[in-house]
Chains A and B, each alone.
Chain A
Amino acid sequence: MEEKRPLCVNAIVDLTESTVAIVETSEEIIRNFVGGRGLNMHYLYKYLKPQVDPLSPDNVLILGTGLLTGTLAPNSGRHSVTCKSPESGIIGDSNIGGFLGPEMRFAGFDRLIILGKADKPVYLYLEDGKIEIRDASDYWGLLCSETDAKFHYDLGSDVEVQSIGPAGENLVRFACTRYGVKNAAGRCGTGAVWGSKNLKAVVARGTRGLPVYDPQGMIDKYTELRDYLKESKVINVLGRVGTPLLYDVSNYLGAIRTHNSQQTVFSDSLNAEEVHKHVSKMLGCYGCVVHCRHRNTLGGEGPEYTTEVLLGANIGVADTGKMIDLNNIVNDLGLDVSSTGTYIAWAIELFEKGYLTEETAGRILRFGDYNMARQLIYDIAYRRGLGDTLAEGSKLVDKFGPETADFLIAIKGLPQSDPHDVRYLKGFALGIATSSRGADHLRSRPTLEILDLPTSFTTQLYGEPVDPNPTSYESKSRVVYFSETIFAVVDCMGICKFVCHGFNSPRNLNYDHFSELTRLATGLEFSKEELQSVGRRVIDQERLINFQEKGITRKDDTLPARYFDEPMPSARAKGSHISREGFNKMLDEYYELCGWDKNGMLPQERIAELNKLRDLTK
Chain B
Amino acid sequence: MALKQKQIYCRPDLCIGCRICANACALTHEGAANPRLGRINIRQNLFERYEFQELCRHCDDPPCLDACMVGCIEKDEDTGIVTNDDRCVGCWMCVMVCPYGSMRRDLIKQIAVKCDQCKDKDGPVCVNVCPTGALVFEEREDLPEEPFISGPSVT
Query: Closest residue to A215 on the B side, CB-wise?
Result: B27
Q: Hey, what's the 0/1 contact readout for A471-486 against B, CB within 8 Å counting as 1?
A: 0000000000000000
* Cβ of A409 to closest chain B Cβ, rounded Å: 32
CB within 8 Å of B: which A278-302 residues: 279-289, 291, 295, 301
In the bound assembly, the distance between CA atoms of A148 and B46 in angstroms comes to 10
Query: Closest residue to A69 on the B side, CB-wise?
Result: B33
Give the residue of B34, B44, B132 whose beta carbon is less than 8 angstroms from that of A210.
Answer: B34
A212–B27 touching, CB < 8 Å:
yes
B18–A286 touching, CB < 8 Å:
yes
Q: Hey, what's the 0/1 contact readout for B47-74 against A, CB within 8 Å counting as 1?
A: 1110000000000000000000000000
A289–B131 touching, CB < 8 Å:
yes
Interface size on A, residues (CB 8 A): 46
Q: Which residues of A contact B48 (CB under 8 A)?
A: 149, 152, 157
B36 within 8 A of A: yes
B108 within 8 A of A: yes
CB within 8 Å of A: which B98-155 residues: 107-108, 125, 128-129, 131-132, 153-155
Give the residue of A106, A180, A207, A219 whose beta carbon is less than 8 angstroms from that of B129.
Answer: A219
Given contacts A218-B27, A282-B16, A284-B16, contact A209 B37 (CB under 8 A): yes
A603 within 8 A of B: no
B30 within 8 A of A: yes
B19 within 8 A of A: yes
A208 within 8 A of B: yes
Q: Hey, what's the 0/1 contact readout for A49-67 against B, CB within 8 Å counting as 1?
A: 0000000000000000000
Q: Which residues of B contact A575 (CB under 8 A)?
A: none
Q: Which residues of B contact A283 (CB under 8 A)?
A: 16-17, 44, 46
A16 within 8 A of B: no
Q: Which residues of B contact A288 (CB under 8 A)?
A: 16, 18, 20, 131
B19–A209 touching, CB < 8 Å:
no
Give the residue of A72, A222, A301 whose beta carbon is less than 8 angstroms from that of B46.
Answer: A301
Query: Closest residue to B132 on the A side, CB-wise?
Result: A291
Query: Closest residue to B106 on the A side, CB-wise?
Result: A207
A427 within 8 A of B: no
B17–A72 touching, CB < 8 Å:
no
Given contacts A219-B27, A281-B154, contact A70 B33 (CB under 8 A): yes
Main secondary structure of the interface of A (DSSP, over half): mixed
B79 within 8 A of A: no
Query: Closest residue to B37 on the A side, CB-wise?
Result: A209
Q: Which residues of B contact A226 (CB under 8 A)?
A: 129, 131
Give the residue of A148, A216, A279, A284 whose beta carbon is less than 8 angstroms from that of B18.
Answer: A284
* Cβ of A504 to closest chain B Cβ, rounded Å: 18
Q: Which residues of A contact B18 (CB under 8 A)?
A: 284-289, 291
A366 within 8 A of B: no
A358 within 8 A of B: no
In the bound assembly, the distance between CA atoms of A284 and B94 in angstroms comes to 33
CB within 8 Å of A: which B24-50 residues: 24, 26-28, 30-34, 36-37, 43-49
B23 within 8 A of A: yes
B47–A145 touching, CB < 8 Å:
yes
Query: Closest residue to B26 on the A side, CB-wise?
Result: A209
Query: Closest residue to A229 on the B side, CB-wise?
Result: B131
A223–B33 touching, CB < 8 Å:
no
Q: Which residues of B contact A239 (CB under 8 A)?
A: 154
Q: Which residues of A contact B43 (CB under 8 A)?
A: 157-158
B16–A181 touching, CB < 8 Å:
no
* Cβ of B106 to closest chain A Cβ, rounded Å: 10
B47–A282 touching, CB < 8 Å:
no
Nearest 9 A/B pairs, CB to CB: A209-B32, A284-B16, A284-B18, A289-B131, A291-B16, A215-B27, A210-B33, A288-B18, A106-B34
Q: A71-B33, A287-B23 are in contact. List 13 more A-B contacts (CB 8 A).
A: A106-B36, A149-B48, A157-B45, A157-B48, A180-B46, A180-B47, A223-B128, A279-B155, A283-B44, A288-B18, A291-B154, A295-B46, A295-B49
